[in-house]
Chains A and B, each alone.
Chain A
Amino acid sequence: MTEFLIGRGHDGPARVGVYRMGSTKVQTPFLVGSPNTESIIGYATLGRNDSPSGGPMILAVPSPIHDSKSFISDAREDDSILLPSFPAVSFLGAEAAELMLESQLRFINEIQGMVDPSRLIVRIPRQLAPEKLASILAEFSSLGVRAASMLFDGWLGPQDYSVLSSRTMLPIDWLAIALGRISPSSIPFLFYLGFDVFDLGYAAESASRGVRLWNLSEESITGGILPRNCSCTACADYSDLRELDREKLHAVLLGHNLNIYQSNLSESVQSLRLGRLRWLVESMVHSSTAATSLLRKTNKSLFAFLEEFTPTSGQTNLSLIGPESYNSPTVKRFRDCLSSRSTPPEHKTLVLLLPCSARKPYSESKSHQRFIKTIERAIGAARSSVAETILTSPLGVIPRELERLYPAAYYDIPVTGDWDIEETEIAADALVTHLQKFAESVVIVAHVSGGYLDVVKSAEDRVTQSIVYTTDQHSPSSFDSLQSLQNTLNDMREVLSLKGGPPALFKDTLRATADYQFGPGAGEALVPDGAKLGGKLYRMVVCRVDKEQTCAFIGDRGSLSLTLEGGRRLIPLQRYWVRFEGRKLEGGSIFAVGINEADPRIRPGDEVIVLNNQDELIAVGRSEMSGREMCDFKKGQAVSVRHKVV
């Protein structure tokens, strides 16, 4: 019996887990290679090499031109088996590709009873339409197959897009194996896309060609150029590799090449644990135009897949270093949620557009403290009728009420003041969408300059409200600009008859956060009129309704924690629910095995409500996986319970 168990922790589709081959437990992700390379698991072809020996291996069955069945008996109980297929045939088109899968299905039927299907690995051909692939894979799944391999040929590029899109079609609890030529720099990328096993063949092939692999390039050890210095365990003793004899050189190159795969893989795993894998991927693709275009295409076309497994909360700094970040799952999801979920409070009659600041949350930065002081000086308590709206790249617009939210409070960009066309467009679109939510009578005051001003200008035609500009090209925090802002607001007080009302910052913040987290209606459900709010935004604000707490705003996450009462209030919205197959909870966690149904909106890190099989609320907590995973996985923690009904 072979089994793949996915462990805790997520960063995009990447995951860690255990591949159990009989009694051997292999941590995923892992490397596969010839037994003589120091790979974690060895591979070989049945009937071609010596009979398998040592630990469990991955064994390929030779081509269907042979009597493939006859080879099976050489495999041992714990070995996994790559199903037989033909090379290159799928390039004859979709029909041929489909036949490649059908012939594997046929083979499984032929060997029925000889091999436990959980040991089998289906080879996914290129060139197959994703829907077709998904339906054929369902057949493999029903036969008990739990692993698939896909093929790559060297440094990643747009040609690999179809393989990545096939990857997204795999049942989520399958082991995904990347075979072929895998360059070391592809490892973070492929791991991020949800591959669990990586072929070391390219390390061996390169060594056999006298090539030393690096993350950014390949180094041929020949001729006139002095080889680079490398302090890895394989190279450290040799100052000039050209002086080595053939055998020795090969051993050193192989050792070095394996080292770089191992180090890239371990860096990828650590990055996952730190929530920095996406950053690692973006950093590594920048060295290659081909890989960069692949990532951009992936962002765009496989967004739903990437997003589904990307946590909605995080504590680490999110470095958004270049155009590949503009549509990364965290960033685009923020823009999408803001546009589809947030509604500005009705009492806002003036929108004040402000530039972002390097320090987060913005209101703690010097520039924003000046803005706030100026606003208060100008209109005092009427500040509550001002929708302070921050423009920023690549998140677009951020209402003051959401400035502490992830990722708004955690991102970092290289600040130069110059915006490229794409980021200007992204921000302008976000601005237009956001302003459409305000009444036409609302006045927009744009207290921005430079790139921010360009954003407003390029949105202007599509904005129905009138816009007043204050800065006259000076820096918004300059004395002159602030003076001008104060004067403008002063004027507006009369024009719009701004009035001071009760302070609304807490209520606005909690409602906006609730809508963002749970969708429209959640704000009113959790923070109804008359709710008592107390605390500090930067620490915690507790919301009570009739003395009963519904939720608390946690300052350093910028998000809400639910109480059971809060959970009950969310039930009618029918969002973010998990159905536990039982009446009552034992213990402090809920495991995937106990869940057959959950809201597919749920992402790792979301606050969720747990219902029992009679639709009663039994707990609230934090999801550890996405909704689909809770339903499909048989093991693993699905929800960390915060409160439960006792």
Chain B
Amino acid sequence: MSDIIERLEHILVDSTVKARGTSVAKRRRRNPTKPSAKWIAPARIGNEVGVALAVVLGTVGCSHARGDSGGCTMCSYLLDGDERSPTTDELLQQFDNAHSELTDETAPLSVKIYTSGSFFDTTEIPSDVRTKILARIAKDERIQEVVIESRPEYVTPDIMRETRDILGSRRIELGIGLESSNDAIRSICINKGFSLSTFKGAVANAKEYDIGIRAYVLLKPPFLTERDALLDAVKTIEDAAKLGVSTVSMNPVNIQKYTLVERLWRKEQYSPPWLWTVMSVLRDAWNKVGSSINILCDPVAAGKVRGAHNCGSCDESITSAIREFSIHQDISVFDSLDCDCMRQWHHVLNHEDISLLIHSRSRRS
């Protein structure tokens, strides 16, 4: 069977590259001295409430998506990046620009550095830029928590040591897209390009320096039935907890531009998850491992056709319950939810498994 999976992988790589089309080359030029995005919001930091700054640095984009491997089937973060790699100075200016948002804030603060790729990938962020940004954070006493995102292959012992050295005793959390703990799903449904053992290695390297891991778990990559998607997300959260991650952030797939998922969706061969599925995953996973880790979920485009959605009349109440849950880690918020569409969802869970027909919801008769 493994050779069949391997051949499928090749086909998938081709297909994701095709789905990207010319979108990579046609990325618009942006101001290289400003970050792609930045925002501040109140957040829980340790046991206190403070303010978190999130900054998305505009880089040349995720190496996995840039190259011949085509990137992940559902992700178009690459489009936020720039055709040309910004210079060292420009990248620092981007950070400073975002950092200035915190001027008037008081401790405790949290800083989240995203890049539409990997902060630790030196082809995106050269190592001198990386150390300079970390040093700037280190100088700011108010910042007590730092969150960084990276693919696991860049999470090396050297970089972990260096990061810990610079940031001192601050709480550090590293966001890694595990997506699924099932190697077959990660490769032939997501085209993620790394194996579970690479992820495990990253977790170990980070732990060595007391750096926590936030595992991103994907709900419903393509080529799975709704039920298989549900079961896999629960299993992945369980496995992630066992591997010692500190937090799980569960992300229901939304349809992003120029992705394979979008292509399949247009042909009615992909349908975003039901919000009932999102809710079930959170509830089932919390029942299993809720005592040991936090499970977060902030579904993008919830209630819209491109995001996780239900019938339309119950979407809002379920989405807000999901957000509630993320803050309080209390599954009783789901107790009173009900809607006529639940029966339809049950049907889809059963019937997709038997028929393997993607039950698309965009077209009828």
Contact = CB atoms under 8 A, between A and B. Distances in A.
User: Do A and B come from the same complex?
Assistant: yes
Interface of A: 34, 43-45, 48-49, 60, 62-65, 82, 85-89, 91-93, 95-96, 99, 102-103, 106, 110, 123, 151-155, 179-181, 183, 199, 201, 204-205, 208-210, 218, 246, 250
Contacts of B355: 151, 179-180, 199, 201
B269 A88 contact: yes
Contacts of A64: 1, 4-5, 184
Given A43-B354, A210-B340, 10 more contacts: A49-B350, A65-B184, A88-B223, A89-B223, A96-B11, A183-B365, A199-B355, A204-B347, A208-B343, A218-B365
Contacts of B343: 208, 250
Interface in B47-63: none
Residue from A63, A88, A96, A205 having most chain B Cβ neighbours under 10 A: A88
Contacts of A34: 350-351
A91 B269 contact: yes
B112 to A, nearest CB: 33
B353 A151 contact: no
A89 B348 CA distance: 19
A548 B360 CA distance: 70
A87 B352 contact: yes
Contacts of A151: 355-357
Contacts of B347: 201, 204-205, 208
Nearest to A204: B347
Given A64-B1, A208-B347, A209-B344, A44 B354 contact: yes
Nearest to B222: A88
B354 A82 contact: yes
Q: Do most interface residues of chain A lie in helix, strand or loop, or is the interface mixed?
A: mixed
Contacts of B182: 65
Top 6 A-B residue pairs of the complex, sorted by shortest distance between their CB atoms = A88-B269, A180-B357, A45-B353, A208-B343, A87-B356, A208-B344
Given A63-B228, A65-B184, A204-B351, A89 B357 contact: no
Interface of B: 1, 4-5, 7-8, 11-12, 15, 182, 184-185, 188-189, 222-225, 227-228, 232, 264, 267-270, 340, 343-344, 346-348, 350-360, 363-365
B19 to A, nearest CB: 10
Given A86-B223, A88-B269, A92-B15, A154 B356 contact: no
Contact of B353 (A62, A102, A110, A181): A62
Nearest to B12: A92
7 contacts: A44-B350, A45-B350, A86-B188, A95-B11, A99-B7, A99-B11, A154-B365
A87 B224 contact: yes
User: Which has the most chain A C-beta neighbours within 10 Å: B8, B188, B232, B355?
Assistant: B355
B364 A154 contact: yes
Contacts of B15: 92-93
Nearest to A82: B354
B354 A91 contact: no
Nearest to A205: B347
Contacts of B184: 64-65
A89 B5 CA distance: 12
Contact of B356 (A43, A44, A85, A210): A85
A102 B4 contact: yes
Contact of B268 (A45, A63, A153, A209): A153
A454 B232 CA distance: 68
Nearest to A85: B356
A99 B8 contact: yes
Nearest to A58: B354
Identify the interface centre among A43, A49, A63, A246: most chain B CB within 10 Å of its CB: A63
A154 B8 CA distance: 28
Contacts of B224: 63, 65, 86-87
B153 to A, nearest CB: 23
A88 B354 contact: no
A65 B344 contact: no
Given A34-B350, A208-B347, A89 B8 contact: yes
A103 B1 contact: yes
B26 to A, nearest CB: 24
A456 to B, nearest CB: 45
A43 B351 CA distance: 9
A250 B341 CA distance: 12
B283 to A, nearest CB: 18
Given A64-B1, A153-B360, A201-B347, A87 B223 contact: yes
B228 A62 contact: yes
Given A34-B350, A181-B357, A96 B365 contact: no
A48 B4 contact: no
Contacts of A91: 264, 267, 269
Contacts of B11: 92-93, 95-96, 99
A407 to B, nearest CB: 35
B354 A179 contact: yes
A86 B350 contact: no
B313 to A, nearest CB: 11
A85 B356 CA distance: 8
A107 to B, nearest CB: 8
A181 B344 CA distance: 14
Nearest to B260: A92
Nearest to B182: A65
A271 B109 CA distance: 77
A458 B191 CA distance: 61
A123 B356 contact: yes
A65 B8 contact: no
Given A205-B344, A250-B343, A65 B356 contact: no
A64 B8 CA distance: 12
A43 B264 CA distance: 27
Nearest to B183: A65
Contacts of A102: 4
| B5, B264, B354 interface centre (most CB from chain A within 10 Å) | B354
Contacts of B350: 34, 44-45, 48-49
B303 to A, nearest CB: 18
B185 A65 contact: yes
Contacts of A93: 11, 15
Nearest to A290: B365
A44 B352 CA distance: 11
